[in-house]
Amino acid sequence: MLARITTTRFAKNYFSTLALMLSGWYICFYLSPFHQGILRAFATIQFFQTVSIHIPVYNLFIAVLIAYAIILVPYYAFQPYVHAKAWTALRGLYLGLGRWHRPTPTLTRKGRRRKSSRKQPVAKALISHTTRQAALALLLKFFFAPLMINWCLAHIGDMLHNVELVRSDVQQGVTGRGLFDHALFMAAFQLILFVDTLLFTLGYIIEMPRWKNRIISVEPSLLGWLVCLACYPPFNALTGRAFAWQSADFPHFANDTIHLLANCSILLLMGIYSWASIALGLKASNLTNRGIVCSGPYAFVRHPAYTAKNLAWWIGALPTFYMAFGQGVQALGLAVLCTAAWSLIYAARAITEEHHLLRANNGYKEYMLAVRWRFIPGVI
């Protein structure tokens, strides 16, 4: 063990990764106003109504950093063939930005440089494909990992709070729609989101060759990044200005039957959404190729999570559509158009993801032939 951790390869891998992790932590909590604004979640775990434990996201980040610092020692020691993305990116950027490509001058027969009135082209940095992919993977982790950790902790806190409310309501004899509306729906909804964000959190912070979830490639196109980031903060605020959000997580209807049917349908669809994340397992992450998954809902359509989430949004927008209809056809058309625009963004995400996966020649073309439908079986 000692011999392994004293090698140059280990030092490069370990300390470059640790340095970037510490840099990311410092940026998130001390330099970035956006991250300082969102990383405020905490979970409260209560035991026997007497002992409460508060877990702020800051403390969770520190725990993750310490765990990483410890686990990376045996990880890099016993996998000496692994090249850390941090070292690959830093070394590649240093070498690429330091090397400038200029055309070889044209020589005459006597070996003299041929005179030319043409201007020499602007020098170009030589950044390799490997370096770009490593840098994109690090950028991806830096952006999504804090979001997912924050959301995961927030969802577990809200879930535990609503579970406690459900228990209290049952003890007080609350039943029917009162029980469903007060806490039961949100307890189930937060549980679904907790499972989803937990898997994506683990997917962003864990890569293990043994678990076959290494990032093979990252989305290389600007369009692919744009349509994805348009759905996440802080960029979704700009998207929301263009296409005002119309849906509600928990829409309310006057009729009890319609109310329960609509919201149970939302829970079912969000359950499918979470099922898709479970099928991905530790491969769950945006903008990446980590191997093809054909199990679970992916055996029926190629983008089950996008389909389920968008159908849930359309159900959640029904009360808004109803109120807009009372204001006139123009208001209704605008509300429908805004909701459709968000769905089109997710359709664009699906298309760019497929183009990315098809470039890798890793079986996605065969998967498309086996699973013909992109969103809805027998329709599209």
The predicted structure's pLDDT at residue 125: 53
Q: What is the pTM of this model?
A: 0.89
Closest CA to 84 of 73, 76, 95, 92: 76
CB 284 within 8 A of CB 358: no
Report all structural domains of the chain as residue ranges with CATH numbers, in order of start: 211-380 (1.20.120.1630)
Residue 373 has pLDDT above 90, yes or no: yes
Residue 109 has pLDDT above 60, yes or no: no
Task: Give the tens place of pLDDT for each residue, 323-356.
Answer: 999 999 999 999 999 999 999 999 999 999 999 9
DSSP 50: T
Distance CA 178, CA 184 (A): 9
Q: Which of 100, 160, 166, 104 is nearest to 127 (CA)?
A: 100
Please tell me the predicted confidence (pLDDT) of residue 82. Answer: 82
Q: What is the pLDDT of residues 137-161, one digit of tens each?
A: 999 999 999 999 999 999 999 999 9
What's the chain's length in residues? 380
Give 64-68 contacts, CB < 8 A, sequence gap 24+: 64/149, 64/205, 65/21, 65/22, 65/25, 68/17, 68/18, 68/21, 68/205
Percent of the chain with pLDDT over 70: 91
pLDDT tier, 282 (very low <50, low <70, confident <90, very high otherwise): very high
Q: Which two tokens stand for residue 59?
A: 């403390």
Q: If pLDDT is split at 50, 70 and 90, which confidence band does 280 have? A: very high
Give the C-alpha separation, 316 to 186, whole Å: 14
Rounded to whole angstroms, the Cα distance separating 119 from 114 reads: 13
Distance CA 234, CA 302 (A): 28
Report d(CA 352, CA 370) in Å as an integer.
Answer: 20
Q: What is the b/e burial string over 39-56, where b = at least 16 CB atoms within 10 angstroms of the residue's CB?
A: bebbbeeeeeeeeeeebe
SS3 state of residue 217: strand
SS3 62: helix
Under 8 Å between Cβ of 379 and 303: no
